[in-house]
Structure 1
């Protein structure tokens, strides 16, 4: 391929990248994609999608990547092309912006005069060094102290302010590019879930999207979990965990976390997400036993898996199993539907002289349920303090600080681009046949109405 053909091919690619039509098309496509990503739930389980869509629709959406849309190759390709378009357009405009900032005209000649929207002409009866200082002061009060170039019979004043405000849209573009780079960098991170029983240590994360297991090279210990409830209900008011980071058998960091107040270690965020009763059903129960023969009432505290004697009787009671959300399966076996305390139940065995007398379930929400049969006690579950697990959402996003930097630049750039302007004033004074003819010109790239009012005021001051 000849050098001319190579140049022609590069020119075609460049013209494609700087095309406004390309920008508009990409913005429309990206907006449509974001709408799709909003309407279709993202990263749900397949069964959830099959409840919402038919099998054929599910297969189509799955093939197109609509269920994890913002991580598909084609979405990343669209974002990358938009980034290139943004960079190319910015570079293409740079020479013109550079000339306006650093090589703009400082002398008001006739060519420049024809291109100005704001022009005023007036005559001065005389022009002395004192008048020169007065003009410099007057213009300086509106913009900055003007420069002065003297030629034979001519005085050229020039003042400007806000030269660098022309870079505002570059800051905006740079902020967008950095945000996109940060979002792509975030793909190198991960998001998952940890479940740690109070008093135990874990380094195992279940990944959110694939349910794969990831192991950290340090451990997280749940030293304590606390939950408080609204008065008179089982609705949680607040819950928090005391976490300790264990690395190389040393405690390196400890923090009490709550919702939206995570522990952060080595760029990994540990958020308080959920909680529940430990799957092993461990905990401590307080029960009340009422003897049917009128022998009185007994309140005992017993831990799951242990036995406690009933004072003054040949009986003892053993706590076998605790279920946080009791239910019966089709086979008649008890199980817990969830790890939340929706229907707490405790399985107890009463022993007499070391021999099993009867076994029953007692329910915190149904204290008057005592089971069937001729039994020596009615039993009530007064309270149960389970051993809790804390559920942690674990996130590592290496692009998060990059995104924050981009957002800061975007805000600053937007402010500069919309609320500041590059304003310029020229004044030419010529001496002709004993008279001094003055021409005042002004220009701004934004907020023309406000500048026009200031320009009119300056004209009146200079004329007087």
Structure 2
């Protein structure tokens, strides 16, 4: 039974996995689903998908939120079928590496032999013979062309250069396997969270939208983050130019261990967790009614129906809260609109100013902003970066020509032959130049035509 299994793996399964056509098909399928994972928003809530991918009308006639969630297209990179594709593709690369690339390298090692008979040179891609040629002079000339030379019995020579051109394809395959391992490790251990935190508050990561099955140790539990301040820079036309968050990382004793101001494309990184500035909101407003202490009221987002942003709150103007006014703001520049209970426009007011409404003086101290942070951890990223670095190195190495030259001294005749795996014309010109110089040094007859077979 065990013998039959081994025979099946060796004769059927491994050749199938090493088939280039299978690798190409798997790579195309992975590319398609990776594109879907980029186009379709990942890790969002149920309401988001119901709103953006309704059943009627379904996108492309079939892609509704039910289909999307059932197929796992809301978390493509962590689905069992996507990981299975990566594993299958990795198995194909591994099989191809061992059955083709490493086998080719072993075949190359067997070519490190010496030819002892003149007729053997006739089978080479390039071959010739030189009267009165010297194998020692040829050795010097080849060394000048950066060839590594080897001798046997003083009459046989083997030389080669560009060995990295043979290793390059193996390095490419290995780097792709490293990239796949990094992607799978990141998918299984990473997480993605979002937090909307008012300025001045401290938070721990709670709102995790997407996480791998082994992400538990990556989610911060022994440290928290304080939003020291949040502010927005506006252009003279009133457009948002940039928004900033001054963040402090606190240990479990409440001591600050790191502090940084973040903005879009400038995140804070701590213990493999990265915090990006992604959004903003208005959390509340601080006001005084006549001579009362400063009161803080939360502000809620108002659905405008056109994608615009408005926030509003209700402020009582009587102690029994029987009457009040509504405050509406659209940004953190401080200007708010005051409406009556009947929806009538009463006035506008800015932070630091006051207005008389309903027989009282309403003073606005400040608007409180909230920072929207995206928090993610992907431990597989360093592995993926290492893989891409090796991939680029392997591709460059693969373009290096691996050239080999053999020579045999038989009396006063010197037989020379060689071959290369690419850049055939360049190699031929190089070998002809070496042989012409050798012929000149030995004052022999001109080199016979180089035979190209």
TM-score by length of 1: 0.75
Cα distance, 1:20 vs structure 2: 2.8
Structure-1 residue corresponding to 2:81: 74
Inter-partner Cα distance in structure 2 for 1:7 and 1:95: 19
Inter-partner Cα distance in structure 1 for 2:35 and 2:311: 43
The correspondence of residues 34-45 of structure 1 with structure 2, limited to 5 A, is 34-37=34-37, 40=40, 42-44=42-44, 45=48
Cα distance, 1:230 vs structure 2: 0.9
Inter-partner Cα distance in structure 1 for 2:21 and 2:111: 31
Cα distance, 1:252 vs structure 2: 1.6
Cα distance, 1:36 vs structure 2: 4.7
CA deviations on 1:125-149 (whole Å, 9 max, x unpaired) are xx6xxx5553332221123353333
Structure-1 residue corresponding to 2:350: 382
CA deviations on 1:409-453 (whole Å, 9 max, x unpaired) are 1111111012x122112222221xxxx222221211122222122
Structure-1 residue corresponding to 2:396: 415
Structure 2 residue corresponding to 1:459, chosen from 426, 435, 439: 435
CA deviations on 1:278-297 (whole Å, 9 max, x unpaired) are 1xx234xxxxxxxxxxxxxx
SS across alignment from 1:460: helix
The correspondence of residues 247-286 of structure 1 with structure 2, limited to 5 A, is 247-249=251-253, 250-278=255-283, 281-283=284-286
Structure-1 residue corresponding to 2:29: 29
The correspondence of residues 10-25 of structure 1 with structure 2, limited to 5 A, is 10-11=9-10, 12-25=12-25
Structure-2 residue corresponding to 1:177: 177
CA deviations on 1:260-316 (whole Å, 9 max, x unpaired) are 2211111111111111111xx234xxxxxxxxxxxxxxxxxxxx2x2345xxxxxx9
Structure 2 residue corresponding to 1:120, chosen from 107, 128, 132: 128
Q: Judging changes above 3 Å, is the alpha-carbon distance between structure 1 residues 56 and 100 closer, same or farther for their aligned structure 2 residues? A: closer
Cα distance, 1:159 vs structure 2: 1.7
Inter-partner Cα distance in structure 1 for 2:367 and 2:272: 33
Structure-2 residue corresponding to 1:405: 386
SS across alignment from 1:105: coil
- Give 5+ residue unaligned stretches, structure 1: 284-303, 310-315, 328-335
Cα distance, 1:357 vs structure 2: 12
SS across alignment from 1:30: helix
Structure 2 residue corresponding to 1:307, chosen from 289, 292, 297: 289
1:142 and 2:145 equivalent? yes
Q: Tell whether the 8 Å contact from 2:191 to 2:210 is kept in structure 1 after alignment.
A: no
Q: Tell whether the 8 Å contact from 2:124 to 2:419 is kept in structure 1 after alignment.
A: yes
Cα RMSD (Å): 3.6
SS across alignment from 1:264: strand
Q: Tell whether the 8 Å contact from 1:224 to 1:241 is kept in structure 2 after alignment.
A: yes
Structure-1 residue corresponding to 2:165: 165
1:100 and 2:103 equivalent? no
Inter-partner Cα distance in structure 2 for 1:463 and 1:13: 55
Cα distance, 1:78 vs structure 2: 1.5
Q: Tell whether the 8 Å contact from 2:273 to 2:375 is kept in structure 1 after alignment.
A: yes
Q: Judging changes above 3 Å, is the alpha-carbon distance between structure 1 residues 100 and 108 closer, same or farther for their aligned structure 2 residues? A: farther
Structure-2 residue corresponding to 1:196: 197
Inter-partner Cα distance in structure 2 for 1:381 and 1:277: 16
Q: Judging changes above 3 Å, is the alpha-carbon distance between structure 1 residues 438 and 209 closer, same or farther for their aligned structure 2 residues? A: same
Q: Judging changes above 3 Å, is the alpha-carbon distance between structure 1 residues 90 and 112 closer, same or farther for their aligned structure 2 residues? A: farther
Inter-partner Cα distance in structure 1 for 2:87 and 2:22: 13
Cα distance, 1:118 vs structure 2: 1.4
Structure-1 residue corresponding to 2:72: 65
Inter-partner Cα distance in structure 2 for 1:173 and 1:368: 61
User: In the comparison of the two structures, how many residue pairs are matched?
Assistant: 402
Structure 1 stretch displaced more, 132-141 or 72-81: 132-141
Inter-partner Cα distance in structure 2 for 1:370 and 1:85: 67
Inter-partner Cα distance in structure 2 for 1:15 and 1:97: 18
The correspondence of residues 344-355 of structure 1 with structure 2, limited to 5 A, is none
Structure-2 residue corresponding to 1:428: 408
Q: Larger C-alpha radius of gyration, 1 or 2?
A: 1
Structure 1 stretch displaced more, 402-411 or 31-40: 31-40
Inter-partner Cα distance in structure 1 for 2:389 and 2:43: 29
Structure-1 residue corresponding to 2:8: 9
Inter-partner Cα distance in structure 2 for 1:371 and 1:30: 55
Q: Tell whether the 8 Å contact from 2:265 to 2:276 is kept in structure 1 after alignment.
A: yes
Structure 1 stretch displaced more, 243-252 or 102-111: 102-111
